């Protein structure tokens, strides 16, 4: 079956340009007996795709395919057939459906969302139950799949929501990119399908799919995606996931496994959810990122299979000619991956973005000199130091930005003060400089994620923003944070140097590395903040006010030099004012010529709550107060079991245990994150490959 489908896809793609992925998606959807909607501007070949898919099935008669262009004036007779005159004479309302939609195997309706209410109501039962109410009779419809097309998605039209929800799979079709326009000049003939899908093939798929199993790990991945989706879009009523959709997508994934010759699902099948779990175009990229981020956490390095599809190389040398890196293959494109599961997701995201959204420079640019429209699905690309420095002019307009490469700013002699009002995705890359902060301020309703700062703070001040999966070898925020959420971030000094007010900080870590030196780790603003003036260093911040800190780690991996015994170290914060600190942990911290001010905090004000916090017992308790010092834990109990079951830390998607360092580490932070567990190699070996890469390589639908 797999080889037959590959041959069929090759035939269907004959003469088409940049339609490979759409044809793959459409064919899989039809094989699964589900419905597909193609979205794109006029003249992009949506109807041509539907016809070729119809031609790929061996039909018993000439009436197995129905196609129609709907307008707001279309009548039910045009779609479902004319009324039977003889039945009317017998006082029965019945249509002659032969040759019309209720009698065919595959149908294509163009401009589907212009359907009138009378057509719409009949379509609902056809799409879902495969029934057509022909007068007083419920007529079974042989429809294998309905392919629909539209120039745009329905917006603010609640009467169309039920119809739109019937399409399990949604796929964009855009104009051919500029660099491939010459391919349209070539004369091509319509393909002659030699290997059509037969009724026996469909029966085989239907019978075999019942035996496809879902391994516990894959079930956990799907469940994690489902829950994360609901959490991500809990304030967006347009996005919802029904139980019916879950059952349908599981069937689709099982069909993917069967047609790939497998008896169980794998990670690559789950990637197909990227076309099934969004309702509105602006959320499509967010859903893909969510899926990819989850998949990368479950990937790992595994022994390379002896033979992979197309016998393509698994590795190639990086631009330096020395570093061997894995290569992601698909049927029609290649994208290089960094040598860790973390960057598999980042590279997949970039490949998906480049393949499924148009990036044609000025033709698709919102700002002169940049690529991209600045929307969530088509972000402005930050490709080099010039693009980054230009944010001082366009960074305050609410755009979405995506960094596509590591950026070394050491060539910059005068730094621009950049204030961000928008959404910045580092794409798993880093920005490097020797002092200061990348952003002077991150303003309300903004976000930053997936970014590593080397020699830089992320920002001096942040307000009303969301920051996640970011890393700095200095303080992350060099002064104050107000009305923010900060999640899964790591710093090399105080996470927020000064004041935290009305914030929630979850799953963050301060790791002071070997030979930690306070003056080199605070950052350029440090001497004007809490360290020099107040002679202290705090793990999370100097002051917490009306904030929550939970499941955060503060630890050292060497000796911490504060230069002067008058300096004090506070594990979480010096002052806890009307705030909550819970389920936090202080690992081993060795202080040189300095003292502890409090393992958790020193000063508790205004009914603050401190609960279930711990410290390894080699850190001295200073106040004989378990709330301020945290519960002392023996190194023998300072392990994953205690963190996971007593403190409630998430070791499925956020944390993992590092046996060598004997403390938890975040699964993926910033650029080029290394897998923490010794069982997970940080570099590819000649006989290993990333699991997700290998499975995508072998999946004919990706």
- pLDDT tens digits, 2-12: 889 988 988 88
Domain boundary residue among 174, 197, 220? 197
The answer to whether the beta carbons of residues 395 and 422 sit under 8 Å apart is yes
Domain boundary residue among 163, 197, 231? 197
Q: Say what the pLDDT of residue 523 is.
A: 44
Quote the crossing angle between the two packed helices 20-31 and 2-12, to the nearest 10°: 130
First to last CA, the chain: 16
In a domain, 269, yes or no: yes
Do 130 and 10 share a structural domain?
yes
In a domain, 266, yes or no: yes
Query: How far from chain centre, in Å, is Cα 648?
Result: 25
Do 279 and 174 share a structural domain?
no
In a domain, 330, yes or no: yes
H-only helix segments in 299-382: 341-356
Do 229 and 256 share a structural domain?
yes
281 secondary structure, DSSP code:
G
The whole-angstrom separation of Cα 701 and Cα 5 is: 10
Q: Say what the pLDDT of residue 23 is.
A: 93
Do 170 and 62 share a structural domain?
yes
The whole-angstrom separation of Cα 531 and Cα 520 is: 12
Do 84 and 120 share a structural domain?
yes
Do 278 and 165 share a structural domain?
no
Name the residue range of residue 318's domain. Answer: 209-350+691-698
Q: Say what the pLDDT of residue 676 is.
A: 33
Per the structure, the count of domains in the chain is 2
In which residue ranges of the chain is pLDDT below 50?
A: 306-350, 352-364, 516-533, 671-684
Q: Say what the pLDDT of residue 160 is.
A: 82
Pairing of strands 407-408, 380-382: unpaired
Do 129 and 259 share a structural domain?
no
Domain CATH code at residue 39: 3.40.50.300
**How does DSSP assign 86-121, residue by residue?**
HHHHTT---B--TTSGGG-SEEEEETGGG--HHHHH
Contacts of 52 (CB under 8 A, 6+ apart): 12, 23, 191
Output the CA angle 251-297-319, nearest 5 degrees.
115
In a domain, 465, yes or no: no
Do 174 and 66 share a structural domain?
yes
Q: Say what the pLDDT of residue 107 is.
A: 94
Do 316 and 222 share a structural domain?
yes
Do 189 and 264 share a structural domain?
no
Q: Say what the pLDDT of residue 156 is.
A: 65
**How does DSSP assign 449-511, residue by residue?**
EEEEEESSEEEEEEESEEEEEEEESS-SEEEEEES-EEES-EESS-SBSSEEES-EEES-EEE
In a domain, 610, yes or no: no
Domain boundary residue among 197, 221, 243? 197
pTM greater than 0.75 (yes/no): no
In a domain, 256, yes or no: yes
Instruction: Using alpha carbons, list the distances in angstroms from residue 673 to 339, 527, 576, 587.
Output: 10, 30, 32, 21
In a domain, 622, yes or no: no
In a domain, 118, yes or no: yes
Do 187 and 65 share a structural domain?
yes
The answer to whether the beta carbons of residues 236 and 287 sit under 8 Å apart is no
Do 228 and 98 share a structural domain?
no
The answer to whether the beta carbons of residues 693 and 253 sit under 8 Å apart is no
């Amino acid at each position: 079956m797999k080889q037959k489908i590959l041959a069929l896809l090759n035939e269907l793609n004959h003469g088409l340009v940049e339609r490979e992925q759409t044809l793959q998606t459409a064919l899989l959807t039809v094989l699964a007996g589900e419905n597909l909607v193609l979205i794109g501007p006029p003249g992009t070949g949506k109807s041509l795709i539907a016809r070729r898919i119809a031609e790929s099935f061996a039909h018993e008669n000439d009436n197995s395919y129905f196609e129609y262009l709907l307008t707001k004036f279309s009548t039910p007779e045009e779609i479902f057939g004319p009324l039977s005159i003889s039945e009317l004479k017998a006082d029965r309302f019945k249509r002659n459906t032969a040759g019309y939609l209720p009698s065919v195997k595959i149908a294509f309706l163009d401009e589907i969302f212009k359907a009138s209410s009378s057509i719409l109501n009949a379509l609902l039962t056809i799409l879902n139950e495969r029934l057509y109410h022909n007068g007083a009779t419920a007529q079974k419809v042989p429809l294998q799949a309905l392919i629909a097309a539209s120039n745009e998605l329905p917006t603010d039209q609640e009467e169309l929501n039920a119809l739109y929800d019937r399409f399990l799979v949604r796929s964009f079709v855009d104009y051919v990119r500029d660099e491939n326009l010459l391919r349209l000049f070539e004369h091509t003939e319509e393909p002659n399908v030699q290997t059509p899908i037969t009724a026996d093939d469909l029966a085989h798929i239907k019978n075999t799919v019942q035996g496809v199993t879902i391994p516990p790990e894959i079930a956990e991945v799907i469940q994690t995606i489902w829950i994360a989706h609901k959490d991500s879009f809990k304030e967006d009523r347009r996005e919802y996931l029904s139980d019916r959709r879950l059952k349908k997508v599981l069937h689709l994934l099982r069909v993917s496994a069967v047609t790939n010759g497998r008896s169980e699902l794998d990670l690559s099948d789950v990637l197909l959810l990227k076309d099934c779990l969004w309702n509105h175009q602006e959320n499509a990229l967010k859903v893909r990122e969510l899926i990819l981020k989850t998949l990368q956490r479950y990937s790992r390095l595994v022994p390379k299979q002896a033979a992979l599809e197309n016998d393509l190389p698994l590795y190639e040398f990086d631009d330096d000619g020395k570093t061997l890196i894995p290569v992601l293959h698909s049927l029609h494109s290649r994208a290089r991956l960094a040598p860790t599961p973390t960057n598999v997701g980042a590279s997949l995201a970039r490949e998906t973005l480049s393949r499924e959204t148009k990036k044609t420079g000025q033709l698709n640019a919102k700002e002169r000199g940049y690529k991209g429209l600045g929307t969530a699905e088509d972000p402005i690309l930050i490709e080099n130091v010039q693009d980054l420095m230009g944010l001082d002019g366009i960074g305050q307009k609410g755009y979405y930005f995506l960094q596509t490469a590591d950026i070394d700013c050491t060539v910059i002699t005068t730094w621009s003060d950049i204030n961000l009002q928008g959404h910045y995705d580092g794409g798993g890359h880093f920005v490097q400089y020797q002092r200061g902060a990348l952003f002077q301020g991150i303003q309300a309703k903004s976000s930053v994620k997936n970014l590593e700062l080397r020699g830089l703070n992320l920002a001096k001040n942040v307000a009303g923003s969301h920051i996640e999966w970011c890393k700095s070898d200095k303080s992350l925020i060099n002064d104050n944070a107000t009305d923010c959420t900060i999640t899964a971030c790591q710093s090399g000094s105080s996470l927020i140097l000064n004041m935290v007010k009305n914030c929630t900080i979850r799953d963050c870590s301060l790791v002071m590395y070997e030979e930690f030196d306070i003056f080199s780790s605070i950052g350029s603003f440090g001497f004007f903040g809490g360290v020099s003036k107040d002679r202290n260093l705090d793990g999370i911040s100097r002051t917490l006010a009306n904030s929550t800190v939970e499941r955060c780690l503060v630890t050292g991996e060497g000796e911490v030099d504060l230069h002067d015994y008058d300096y004090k170290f506070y594990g979480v914060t010096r002052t806890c004012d009307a705030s909550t600190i819970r389920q936090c942990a202080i690992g081993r911290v060795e202080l040189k010529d300095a003292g502890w001010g409090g393992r958790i905090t020193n000063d508790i004000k205004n009914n603050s709550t401190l609960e279930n916090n711990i410290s390894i017992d080699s850190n001295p308790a200073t106040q004989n107060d378990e709330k301020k010092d945290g519960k002392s834990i023996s190194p023998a109990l300072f392990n994953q079991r205690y963190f996971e079951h007593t403190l409630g830390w998430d070791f499925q998607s956020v944390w993992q245990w590092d046996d060598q360092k004997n403390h938890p580490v975040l699964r993926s932070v910033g650029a080029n994150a290394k897998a923490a567990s010794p069982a997970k190699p940080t570099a590819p070996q000649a006989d290993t490959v990333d699991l997700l890469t290998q499975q995508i390589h072998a999946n004919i639908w990706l």
